[in-house]
Structure 1
């Protein structure tokens, strides 16, 4: 009787996410603006530009996450992940107010600001993924990007205190993303595991999404630098 090869073990969500974070991590020298901020060498004006651009990014990403949650309505673990991300954007916007105040930005300046195209490429691509990407694959790509983003926020928040003398309220936005987020991590694993169990998640496709997200992330920082 012919022997059949045993089925290969199915990957776990934790393994898939760890692999994405590792494979898609940007080069340590890929973000010169963050390196300049870390050294205290970037002009203080970049923080005002950052705040103005983030008002646009946060508003767009919140809509994208809400749309992904609606698209995943039949897959509760996936929808829960995006619901939590959308809630997080609301909290992030509140914390951004401290930076805007420290940069003496008025409500009118924020409302009338003309965003830089390079800064808005990331949310534009996120909106495209919200429309046509499989939500489970997008969850993998976003998780890899969040790891890079969180690292940048850690560096910037520390430098703002050490080199630029910003008050704590101005650093709160960066601290929000720099802190561990166990609830987000747990829901990301649940969403991806559901995608793997149902055959919806395709890690190679997620990595393609993730590479572009990481590239647009770097484009954001480069464009803030001007």
Structure 2
């Protein structure tokens, strides 16, 4: 029986759902136990991740326009979203005590950059349809992580609305992005629109993407010892405007 596009995405997301120990940093942030040096590392690593992913998504959009046009809208929206997210990193970094000089001198942790490195590899040579599914499955856990972090930054660290904006952005549901992913799979599994499945190649792509995201959450705490002393963070009001809200822009 032929499955719907939504069922394909839901199945892969469920299959790749992270285990309870997949993100050791999250409970530390959620409880307020992570210090600001650790948050500073996370912010500086995200600065590099976003810059790399922006280039990867733009390249995937360009490739897809030629190889698999039904994938292009998905990657175009991702690239636009990375630009928005990049604009919100400054407030997060400032709240963590990171100035431009410190950010420029920062040396990235290899584990934190495993994910964008693999995404760049996918951008260069993977079948675009496989990447759509792999990223869609990975984003489900990423959005949940961001929601938890954003709440904790308010509750335990008194971050302002602007300082929480980066994580708020990714925490919101993105129905338009999901619909663009489904739009590709309504045409079938392969780039030619066939309904023939490619489970091995697609599954490998999804699993590798998911595994490469794991080290990102284990490295920041280890790297915090190399960070400068934390600064006090001003208290601020609450508010949210995430990826889903941005997607509804006029």
TM, length-normalised to structure 1: 0.91
Query: Does the 8 Å CA contact 1:134/1:201 hold for their aligned counterparts?
Result: no
1:121: which partner in 2? Answer: 114
Note the alpha carbon deviations across 1:84-136, whole angstroms, 9 max, x for none. 10010000101112101212322222222211111101000001111111110
Instruction: Please report the RMSD computed on the Cα atoms of aligned residues, expressed in angstroms.
Output: 1.5
Deviation at 1:195, TM superposition (A): 4.5
Aligned match of 1:150 in 116, 123, 143? 143
Deviation per residue, 1:167-216 (Å, 9 max, x gap):
11111111101001111111111123235271386343222122222222
Change (3 A) 1:36 1:73: same
Aligned to 1:65: 57
- Name the SS for the 2:147 alignment partner: helix
> 2:74 is matched with which residue?
81
User: 2:153 and 2:199 mapped to 1: Cα distance?
Assistant: 37
**Residue 43 of structure 2 is aligned with which of 33, 51, 59?**
51
Provide Cα deviations, 1:38-75, integer angstroms capped at 9, x if missing partner. Answer: 11111221111111111110111111111111111133
Q: Which whole-Å CA distance do the structure 2 matches of 1:14 and 1:181 have between them?
A: 14
State which of 124, 127, 133 in structure 2 corresponds to 1:131: 124
More helix by share: 1
Runs of 4+ aligned structure 1 residues displaced above 6 Å come to none
Mapped contact 1:21–1:143 kept (Cα < 8 A): yes
1:41 maps to 2:37: no
Q: Give SS of 2:70's match.
A: helix
Seen in structure 2, the aligned counterparts of structure 1 residues 193 and 112 have a Cα distance that, compared at 3 Å, is farther
Aligned residue among 189, 212, 217 for 1:216: 212
Higher mean C-alpha displacement, 151-160 vs 101-110: 101-110
> Who is 2:184 aligned against?
191
Aligned to 1:27: 19
TM-score of the aligned structures, taking structure 2 as reference length: 0.83
Query: Which runs of 5 or more residues in structure 2 are unaligned?
Result: 223-250
CA distance in 1, matches of 2:199, 2:147: 28
Q: Give the secondary structure class of the aligned counterpart of 2:189.
A: helix
Distance 1:32 1:221, change over 3 A: same
> d(CA) in 1 for partners of 2:166 and 2:13?
23
Q: For 1:217, what is the secondary structure of its paired residue?
A: helix
CA distance in 2, matches of 1:201, 1:136: 11
